[in-house]
């Protein structure tokens, strides 16, 4: 534990020293994916999967809901801080994204590698997120010219978080999928989509890409409630599926790096850091890993986590989970630290 903390602080110091001059370490930060990284794109959609109301955002800088599925900052917000950005990439579908050169957030809660997952919940598919990114690129080129624009795209960091919604909000509850495909076969479908996404992003000039692994999905409070059969423990078969997917994700990523010249592609392991927090929350300064802060800590998320949710905790700083699916700000900060350790290749 001590050695890990030392590594983190050494890395953090080097980053802080690098941004003393005021410029971020990279010219842009662009985000794709699902609710773990959505900062408000779903606010502008006809979907029930939203977080633009209290108590979401109650511990954020403005103490107001933004569309983040958290009580405060997301892991990507902390990463933007570490990289030296003075503001966070705005939701692309918001007016705040107008004229932004330093990156945008294209993520949409309930999106995933499997296009139908997003369509079921009226979220923005990854295909459309990529199209929105291409549209943003065109705006950047109009503002600064092609040469400077290409430098922003190739030098910027692109982060992708997806897969959890595909399993939890689609595969496990959809007999049209889980009776036709085994978890391994479904993972193969998702990874085909992932490889295609990375190849298309590469064609658009991106060279620094990070993708998060699946978390221990069987330990999410909602997953334990829905699939745990009355147990209060992590659902082993779901975690096994996540581990298998992550192994395939690593393999697919190695193949992509071998075939795409100049691509820096990092698979960020969030499975183990989050599992460590859940298994031994005290080691991270937390105390509650089963119950989420919002409501009863079971299936509450989005409209089920609202200002009238019974049992919502008054102080989320000791909780691993904010709602039934999403980490608290305290957990997100720890996850961001773990990602920082793993991602130095993207800023070197």
Helix residue ranges per DSSP H, 228-328? 236-259, 271-279
Each residue's pLDDT tens digit, 178-189? 999 999 999 999
Residue spans per domain, the chain: 2-347
Look at residue 301 in the predicted model and tell me its pLDDT.
62
pLDDT at 229 over 80: yes
- State the chain's mean pLDDT as an integer: 92
Whether 158 is catalytic is no
CB-based contact 231:224 (threshold 8 Å) = yes
pLDDT at 261 over 70: yes
Each residue's pLDDT tens digit, 102-130? 999 999 999 999 999 999 999 999 999 99
Q: Which of 38, 284, 323, 328 is catalytic?
A: 323
Category of 192 on φ-ψ map: left (φ > 0), alpha (ψ -120 to 50) or beta: alpha
Look at residue 237 in the predicted model and tell me its pLDDT.
97
pLDDT at 2 over 50: no
Query: What are the distances in angstroms from CA 243 to CA 160, 184, 262?
Result: 18, 11, 28
**Sequential DSSP letters for 191-211:** HHHHHHHHHHHHHTT--EEEE
Q: Among 19-28, 138-147, 155-164, 271-280, where is mean pLDDT lowest?
A: 19-28
Answer positive or negative: Cα dihedral of 134, 140, 146, 151.
negative
**The pTM is what?**
0.93
Each residue's pLDDT tens digit, 48-75? 999 999 999 999 999 999 999 999 999 9
Helix (H) / strand (E) element for 131: namely helix 126-144
Question: Higher pLDDT residue, 207 or 301?
Answer: 207
pLDDT at 135 over 90: yes
All residues at 6 or more sequence positions from 132 whose CB lies less than 8 Å from its CB, including other chains = 92, 93, 106, 124
Q: How confident is the model at residue 212 (pLDDT cuts 50, 70, 90)?
A: very high
pLDDT at 18 over 50: no
Question: Higher pLDDT residue, 85 or 229?
Answer: 85
pLDDT at 19 over 50: no
Q: What residues pair up with 158 in beta bridges, in sequence order?
A: 30, 209
Q: How confident is the model at residue 296 (pLDDT cuts 50, 70, 90)?
A: low
Q: Which of 35, 108, 165, 213 is catalytic?
A: 35
Q: How confident is the model at residue 300 (pLDDT cuts 50, 70, 90)?
A: low
Q: Which of 77, 253, 326, 328 is catalytic?
A: 326
Look at residue 6 in the predicted model and tell me its pLDDT.
41
Would you report the helix, strand and coil content of the chain in percent, each value rounded to 5?
Answer: 50, 5, 45
| Rounded CA separation 167/187 (Å) | 9
Look at residue 38 in the predicted model and tell me its pLDDT.
98
CB-based contact 344:23 (threshold 8 Å) = no
User: At the topology level of CATH, where does 2-347 sit?
Assistant: Rossmann fold (3.40.50)
Whether 314 is catalytic is no
Each residue's pLDDT tens digit, 231-257? 889 999 999 999 999 999 999 999 999
Q: How many CA atoms lie within 13 A of 328 on its CB side?
A: 31
Over pLDDT 70: what percentage of the chain? 92
Residue 298, number of CB atoms within 10 A of its CB: 18
| Rounded CA separation 264/266 (Å) | 7
| Rounded CA separation 105/39 (Å) | 7
Over pLDDT 90: what percentage of the chain? 84
| Rounded CA separation 319/31 (Å) | 26
């Amino acid at each position: 534990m001590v050695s890990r903390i030392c590594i983190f602080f050494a890395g953090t110091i080097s980053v802080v020293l690098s941004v003393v001059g005021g410029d971020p370490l990279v010219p842009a930060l662009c985000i794709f994916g699902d609710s773990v990284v959505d900062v408000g794109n779903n606010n502008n959609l006809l979907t029930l999967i939203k977080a633009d109301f209290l108590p979401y955002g109650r511990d954020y800088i403005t103490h107001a809901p933004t569309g983040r599925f958290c009580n405060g900052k997301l892991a990507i917000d902390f990463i933007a801080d570490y990289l030296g950005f003075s503001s966070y990439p705005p939701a692309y579908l918001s007016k705040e994204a107008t004229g932004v050169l330093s990156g945008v957030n294209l993520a949409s809660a309930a999106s995933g590698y499997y296009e139908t997952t997003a369509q079921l919940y009226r979220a923005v598919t990854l295909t459309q997120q990529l199209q929105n990114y291409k549209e943003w690129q065109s705006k950047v080129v109009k503002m600064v010219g092609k040469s400077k624009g290409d430098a922003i795209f190739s030098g910027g960091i692109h982060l992708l978080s997806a897969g959890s919604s595909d399993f939890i909000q689609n595969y496990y509850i959809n007999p049209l999928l889980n009776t036709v495909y085994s978890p391994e076969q479904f993972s193969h479908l998702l990874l085909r989509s992932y490889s295609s996404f990375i190849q298309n992003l590469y064609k658009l000039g991106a060279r620094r890409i990070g993708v998060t692994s699946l978390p221990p999905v069987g330990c999410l409070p909602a997953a334990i409630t829905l699939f745990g059969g009355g147990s209060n423990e992590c659902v082993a078969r779901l975690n096994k599926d996540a581990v298998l997917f992550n192994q395939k994700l690593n393999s697919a990523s190695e193949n992509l790096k071998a075939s795409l010249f100049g691509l820096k592609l990092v698979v960020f392991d969030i499975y183990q850091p989050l599992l460590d927090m859940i298994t031994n929350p005290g080691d991270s300064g937390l105390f509650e890993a089963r119950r989420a802060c919002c409501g009863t800590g079971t299936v509450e998320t989005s409209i089920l986590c609202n200002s009238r949710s019974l049992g919502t905790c008054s102080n989320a700083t000791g909780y691993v989970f904010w709602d039934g699916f999403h980490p608290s700000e305290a957990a997100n900060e720890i996850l961001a630290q773990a990602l920082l350790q793993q991602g130095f290749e993207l800023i070197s």
